[in-house]
Structure 1
């Protein structure tokens, strides 16, 4: 091809322009690519930087589109709306996210790592009174089922704190600490919701001015 191995693309396209054909298909493909680049060069215009976007190369940069291109396409799940929502606390949301993906380190999973581990359940909070299904709770958290904005936030946040609290309690007992009474766990959950709504009221979050009063009404 008449191009040294250390040559740049600029060196390759600036060599004497003569259309060539080679016996090797790969060399012909390289030659055609160089010719296309050479044909697109305009001497009276300056080079510009372009950013790859979903609709092609653009002069403006988009963080969200760049992130999507780097990650690739992923399946979208409706239940994520009940996990990642405005005003959610990251550590609570992360725990619910792991729970819904069945990625928590339950004893059923731990027993596969350590055959000598004690797999007896250390929590009996729900007992026979638990009748709601996880899928129905996640659907309710995601879709709201005709709940207004304030009520949906209270439900989602209380759900997040409850999941986080139960998992934290499970870990405490698993590591030898005493089980927290269910009444105390309820108070911790209630206090967590009240603290969040109080902060939102102090920050004057639009549409959430009387959310704390709504929560108090549900506790009667």
Structure 2
């Protein structure tokens, strides 16, 4: 069948045929139900892929032959000028001692430990995909009850894809890299969140009560804390993660407003705005009777005292 026929999904599946073939082989028992040419029963792979159409003539074995028929072919063994053909002839000769009428042919699937009679979806998935180091910080970004737009902003920030001034300078040399909010240092992600004197005050007002003497305005320390949780309880960890994402989104929005010539609002006003957003979120969760969220609200109110 041509790969251009059928639906888009079907054409994609057809392109995976070669990959799928590498995950399946036959273990020879009696050889009754294994195609000599088209099944993978030999360590060298599918014989047809090795020899092509010419192989039927060179080997003297018909297209529909089973392994048993090829092994006990009455024509006898031949000597060939091509080394590969002689190797296959030798393998057929050795198969005489392996075939047994008492054993059945068995289908095998590739697993992480090698070929096995059982199939594992999870292991197959791991074998076909490209493995990479586990990204630990994702637990601090994509967590239950997070606000999607805040989580998305945190994800972009973790990848350092926000258009801070240091990144803008890479494609627009000569641009002023000074922080838009504090006007006292080069604006980078780590500076803006939360080494900047303006944003740092907002983060401290939110997180100091939860983190206590573990409080930090260093990006790497904060991300490690919200990802692993440390010794924070479940409720405190939720409050910290949500406060972090709320602060991130609010500060970035305020930074963009100032960048486009709007007036910077006082830091105390922004503190109240972020605090209000977190309170509203926790109150909403409690009103929906989300299990455990009463504790989150109590934790948050406790840190504001």
Q: Could you tell me how far apart the structure 1 residues matched to 2:112 and 2:142 are?
A: 24
Quote the residue 1:151 is aligned against: 236
Q: Structure 1 residues 143 and 12, CA, compared in 2 at 3 Å: closer, same or farther?
A: same
The unaligned stretches of length 5 or more in structure 2 are 1-49, 57-62, 72-76, 93-97, 183-191, 201-215
With the length of structure 2 as denominator, give the TM-score of the two structures: 0.53
Aligned with 2:197 (options 109, 127, 130):
127
Structure 1 residue matching 2:261: 3-state secondary structure: coil
Cα displacement (A) at 1:148: 1.3
The unaligned stretches of length 5 or more in structure 1 are none
Cα displacement (A) at 1:156: 1.0
Quote the residue 1:104 is aligned against: 162
Residues 3 and 12, structure 1, Cα contact 8 Å, conserved in 2: no
Cα displacement (A) at 1:61: 4.4
Which range moves more in the overlay, 103-112 or 128-137?
Answer: 128-137
Which aligned pairs between 1:1-220 and structure 2 lie closer than 5 A? 4=53, 11=63, 17=70, 23-24=81-82, 58-59=118-119, 61=121, 68-124=126-182, 126-127=196-197, 130=200, 132-220=217-305
Q: Structure 1 residues 174 and 66, CA, compared in 2 at 3 Å: closer, same or farther?
A: farther
Residues 194 and 212, structure 1, Cα contact 8 Å, conserved in 2: yes
Q: How many residues align?
A: 211
Structure 2 residue matching 1:209: 3-state secondary structure: helix
Cα displacement (A) at 1:193: 1.5
Deviations 1:45-93 (A, max 9, x none): 9x9997x76567755645xx66644542111243333223222233322
Q: Which has the larger radius of gyration?
A: 2
Structure 2 residue matching 1:185: 3-state secondary structure: helix
Q: Could you tell me how far apart the structure 1 residues matched to 2:162 and 2:87 are?
A: 52
Residues 169 and 179, structure 1, Cα contact 8 Å, conserved in 2: yes
Q: Could you tell me how far apart the structure 2 residues matched to 1:14 and 1:113 are?
A: 64
Aligned alpha-carbon RMSD (Å): 4.2
Q: Structure 1 residues 31 and 214, CA, compared in 2 at 3 Å: closer, same or farther?
A: farther
Q: Structure 1 residues 60 and 90, CA, compared in 2 at 3 Å: closer, same or farther?
A: same
